[in-house]
Amino acid sequence: MVYYVLMGLFDRFTAKSNQQTNTVDVAAALAPYNAQQLVGGILFGTTTATREQYMAIPSGARARNIICSTVGSLPLEQYNHFTNEHIRPNRVIMQPDPRVAGSAIYAWLAEDILLYGVGYGMVMDAYAATDASRIRAWTRIAPNRVFASLNGNSTEIEYYTVDGKRVPPFGLGSLIVFNGLDEGILNRAGRTIKAAAELEKAAEMYAKEPMPQMVLKSNGTNLTPERITKLLESWRVSRSTRATAFLNADVELQALGFDPAKLQLNEARQYLALEISRASGIPASFVSAETTSMTYSNMTAERKALIDFSLRPILTAIEQRLSQADFVPNGMEVRFDIDDFLRGSALERAQVYEILNRIGAMSVEQIQEEEDLIR
């Protein structure tokens, strides 16, 4: 009896000692890491595209310029979270880097979030040299300069390096991370971007060589390399000056491959332009990926769709990061002002003002101030 009791106690303590528990030292980590953020294709191999490939596509470049330039042009406002009182934003919000206009910083930051799913800034100046100090100035850092060192489970970021040098976790020289809401277009739509880039190369090739691939075949004796080179050069020069060619009985022209019409390059490029607009979350009409009749009334609706489905994730990522305690005091929040971007026509605004004034919601002075009529 004593033997079984002792063995039971032994097994119990042994099971506890052999049990493996996974613990994460969250306090020692800077931030959690989403492994899906940079995962390549499992079925199709690596699908991550490059910025150069994306910007070489006309629809991609236009989508980037519309989205990021719009974000950079929107004014940032600071509000009291509890009373919704408008407060003049700190200079670090309006102009993060004293050397550069704030619109440039936020436009490139929006591109980083759009393409890579994350944006970075580096602290240039702070009010106090402590981990709780408020940031006085910062500047944007390109994502390809930043590397995150992870823990053994690849779940937590332990430290960052910029250009191969480790940066401090807080204070001067530390990084400000603007986490996007997805993994970025270059990771999410890499195969589509690569396909569109290859089509642009094909279009360039056919622009340089508008005819199908041609072979000049000699039906007579074999020609020497010197005579072949001279014949091809003479053919090239003649085709650049004349559309009509003449061949004698010793030379035969053969065409290989397909011409652009048979390859349907225009149709393929139009289809991929539509796919790029979908991946970018921008209405196809903004990148001319589809033909529509645009009027002022539905242009206002298109702008609202641009905000809701394309700009909103980027705006939210920037707003919430700038609303943290190292930028503004507790109880304050930073928001982009999109009212001017979404304002309707003069007739629509006048009708709204007339209703608001009639019910007592806005005075004449407030209407004049809203329309910048008070100097």
pLDDT tens-digit series, residues 324-373:
989 998 889 999 988 777 776 677 677 778 888 888 888 888 877 777 76
pLDDT at 27 over 60: no
pLDDT of residue 327: 92
Own/partner pairs for 69-72, CB < 8 Å, 24+ apart? Answer: 69/107, 70/306, 70/311, 70/341, 71/106, 71/107, 71/110, 71/311, 71/314, 71/315, 71/318, 71/336, 72/103, 72/104, 72/105, 72/106, 72/107, 72/108, 72/110
Q: Per-residue confidence at 138, pLDDT binned at 50, 70, 90?
A: very high
Report the Cα 52 to chain-centroid distance in Å.
12
- Residue 337's alpha-carbon distances to 7, 334, 371, in angstroms, are 72, 10, 15
pLDDT of residue 209: 61
Evaluate if pTM is beyond 0.85.
Answer: no
- Which tens digits make up the pLDDT trace of 303-331? 788 888 889 999 999 999 999 989 998 88
Q: Amino acid identity, residue 328? A: V
More confident residue, 292 or 225: 225
Q: Which residues contact 134 (CB under 8 A, 6 or more apart)?
A: 126, 127, 128, 325, 326, 327
More confident residue, 245 or 78: 78
Mean pLDDT over 74-87 rounds to 88
- Residues 66/111, Cβ–Cβ less than 8 Å: no
pLDDT of residue 119: 94
- Residue 98's alpha-carbon distances to 101, 137, 256, in angstroms, are 7, 7, 60
How far apart are the C-alpha atoms of 348 and 96, rounded to whole Å? 36
pLDDT of residue 156: 87
Mean pLDDT over 78-85 rounds to 87
How far apart are the C-alpha atoms of 18 and 22, rounded to whole Å? 13
Mean pLDDT for the chain?
79
pLDDT at 38 over 90: no
pLDDT of residue 255: 64
Task: Name the DSSP class of 224.
Answer: P
pLDDT of residue 140: 95
Q: Per-residue confidence at 175, pLDDT binned at 50, 70, 90?
A: very high
How far apart are the C-alpha atoms of 91 and 75, rounded to whole Å? 13
How far apart are the C-alpha atoms of 359 and 97, rounded to whole Å? 45
How far apart are the C-alpha atoms of 288 and 183, rounded to whole Å? 26
